[in-house]
Structure 1
Amino acid sequence: MSIPVSELIQQLWDTFRQMNPQAGQIVDLLAQRGDPLQNDHIAFRTFNDPRIGVARLAEPFLADGYVVGDEYHFAEKKLYAQHFEHADPSHPKIFISELLLEKFDLPLRQTVDKLIEQIDLTAIDADHPLCIAGRPWHVSYEVWKSLRDQSEYAAWMAAHGYCANHFTVFVNALKSVSSLKELNALLVAQGFQLNREGGEIKGSPSVFLEQSSTTAPEIEVEFTDGVHAAPGCYFEFAQRYPLPNGKLFSGFVAKSADKIFQSTDSRS
């Protein structure tokens, strides 16, 4: 019997809040204004090794009634992604991306292979899905820095492994603000730093989706050669617009997501 997705999401959220205290602060701020959190989507990262790729991460969600929504390609960042959605609109969408290892030079591929070989795949099952496995390998800060020089995404994976990369506030459900622009202004006034790559707001009503995000604060990470600071998780905000048929757009916009990925880039 597999862990219910509602419990799985709660576990993911608890870990996410520990890794990203600003998320809890923002949720509390909105709650004080009468707006309880409604999640638009949860995102995960991985590598495109079949043992741990998108399909493996999606298993607990597919088992609970989620279906594939669409797929996305990010040529510059060498990523592939799919999103998954549930017939019940109260269930958050799931967005899973993977780094295309074959697009990188041999040193990065060899480094990632050494990380993957450390995973005890026998410990991954329906009750212990990959998405909550945490960091299933040991890695040095020196290796992390070498990965960062080749791919910020690979470095983030090396540091944190399997957890929610971000949760996302569904702006449409908020009553105390009327738009993503107004929410952003509120957050900036409260001292939160937003990702301004590609503009503070990515997307537009013309593509039926607007997104913004905080920048991932640096957190202390335990590496094999000491504790060092590395970018953690971030909080995202999404406002969706109706399609010509009247239904809210439920997918994602690759051009916007490309810039959102940079929320975990190193800034030192």
Structure 2
Amino acid sequence: MKFEKNTALDFVLNDLFEHYRQHVVAVDRITSALLEAGVVASQADIVNDHIAFRTLGVAHMGIASFEKIFLAHGYRKMDHYHFAAKKLNAYWFKPPSPNYPRIFVSELIVSELSDAAKGVIHRYTDAIVADPVDSLNLGDGQQIADFLQRPLWELPTSQDYNKLLEESEYAAWVIFNRYYLNHYTISIHELKEGYNTLEEFNAFVEGLGIKLNTAGGKIKTSGDRLLRQSSTVSAWNNALFADGITLQIAGSYVEFAERSVLPEFRNIPKSQLSPQQRRDGFEADNADKIFESTYTAQIKDKG
């Protein structure tokens, strides 16, 4: 994933990926192995299916705020997804052209949490009295990039983090990581043969000593069987909290997606296929299990 920085959107996406790559060791390990195997010639040859962000559903924030950034750059809001057990809502956003990644934005339904958890979240977010995106020049890529790396509330204490972790691992992840990029996604079907199915690619990744998310199975498959997804699990990151305590917490991870050709286009030679002729969108059941790539049970699982 690399863009030519001709537009503000290019700048933002490049900046997001560079910060993410520096903090998620699996990204460079996978890229280096693909380069060594001759599967790709550079990171830019890897097609990014989508990127994902997590938000909190509180006043002046959440999806309604975050989406303004990408709607201003030609993205279109698409399907809604609801995850009742995890207390989440989500939408995906279609890019202005196929060379850009889809965007998946989820939001914690804070109002459905316990009073104790709500109290923790509001203690940090109530100081935000206006939508922070409204103060941005959305035509300025540098300003947007800086905003996405800037904390919007104070660093939490380890005690508050652990309180949230007991009830919602998603809430705990967001209270510490804020708008940090949650994951990027390699389009497996765009790779050369021998690597372009999830069975092959998962075996390749596990051969590097990288653990995969096993929630719902290593391969999560949509009802129509046209979208298949896998992901690594987050590594443990040492995080320093406001009370001076350092804990090992979940960071971000890498996802892999395999989008099959739609039935009406199956007779078209692969070299002539366009991205629009493959399965688009997302699948709630798949996404529900992908969320668990940052869950403690997955990270601790020995596989």
- Could you say if the C-alpha distance between residues 164 and 51 of structure 1 is closer, same or farther in structure 2, counting changes exceeding 3 Å? same
Could you say which residue in structure 2 is the equivalent of 1:57? 66
Pick one of 109, 119, 144 that aligns with 1:110.
Answer: 119
Alpha-carbon distance between aligned partners in 2 of 1:45 and 1:71, rounded to the nearest angstrom: 15
Structure 1 residue 180 and structure 2 residue 216: aligned? Answer: no
1:219 and 1:229 in contact (8 A); partners too: yes
Alpha-carbon distance between aligned partners in 2 of 1:9 and 1:83, rounded to the nearest angstrom: 16
- Could you say if the C-alpha distance between residues 48 and 57 of structure 1 is closer, same or farther in structure 2, counting changes exceeding 3 Å? same
Identity of aligned residues (%): 33
2:53 and 2:183 in contact (8 A); partners too: yes
3-state SS of 1:239 partner: strand
Could you say which residue in structure 2 is the equivalent of 1:263? 293
Could you say which residue in structure 1 is the equivalent of 2:87? 78
1:57 and 1:131 in contact (8 A); partners too: no
Unaligned runs of 5+ in 1: none
Could you say which residue in structure 2 is the equivalent of 1:213? 231
The CA deviation at 1:204 is 4.9
Q: How does 1:89-128 map to 2 (within 5 A)?
A: 89-119=98-128, 124=133, 125=136, 126=138, 127=140, 128=143
Could you say which residue in structure 2 is the equivalent of 1:249? 279
Task: Tell me which structure has the larger Cα radius of gyration.
Answer: 2
3-state SS of 2:263 partner: coil
The CA deviation at 1:220 is 1.2
Could you say which residue in structure 1 is the equivalent of 2:258? 239
Alpha-carbon distance between aligned partners in 1 of 2:149 and 2:169, rounded to the nearest angstrom: 21
1:43-99 deviation digits (Å, cap 9, x = unpaired): 000011241111211222111111012111111101000000124111100000000
The CA deviation at 1:222 is 1.8
1:45 and 1:97 in contact (8 A); partners too: yes
Using the size of structure 2 for normalisation, the TM-score is 0.82
Structure 1 residue 48 and structure 2 residue 48: aligned? Answer: no
Could you say which residue in structure 1 is the equivalent of 2:161? 144
1:81 and 1:95 in contact (8 A); partners too: yes
Alpha-carbon distance between aligned partners in 1 of 2:151 and 2:49, rounded to the nearest angstrom: 22
The CA deviation at 1:106 is 1.1
The CA deviation at 1:201 is 0.2
The CA deviation at 1:119 is 4.7
3-state SS of 2:192 partner: coil
Alpha-carbon distance between aligned partners in 1 of 2:39 and 2:226, rounded to the nearest angstrom: 26
The AA in structure 1 aligned to 2:295 is D
3-state SS of 1:114 partner: helix
Alpha-carbon distance between aligned partners in 2 of 1:235 and 1:178, rounded to the nearest angstrom: 16
The CA deviation at 1:24 is 1.5
Could you say which residue in structure 2 is the equivalent of 1:34? 39
3-state SS of 2:281 partner: coil
1:207 and 1:253 in contact (8 A); partners too: no
Could you say which residue in structure 2 is the equivalent of 1:15? 19
The CA deviation at 1:244 is 3.4
3-state SS of 2:97 partner: coil
Unaligned runs of 5+ in 2: 1-6, 266-276
Pick one of 166, 179, 190 that aligns with 1:162.
Answer: 179
2:88 and 2:107 in contact (8 A); partners too: yes
Aligned residues: CA RMSD: 1.9
Could you say which residue in structure 1 is the equivalent of 2:75? 66
2:73 and 2:96 in contact (8 A); partners too: no
The AA in structure 2 aligned to 1:55 is A
The CA deviation at 1:134 is 4.3
2:60 and 2:128 in contact (8 A); partners too: no
Q: Compare 49-58 and 177-186 and name the one that shifted more.
A: 49-58
Q: Compare 11-20 and 132-141 and name the one that shifted more.
A: 132-141
2:49 and 2:185 in contact (8 A); partners too: yes
2:230 and 2:255 in contact (8 A); partners too: yes
Q: Compare 235-244 and 256-265 and name the one that shifted more.
A: 235-244
3-state SS of 1:61 partner: helix
The CA deviation at 1:117 is 2.8
3-state SS of 1:30 partner: helix
Q: How does 1:181-196 map to 2 (within 5 A)?
A: 181-196=199-214
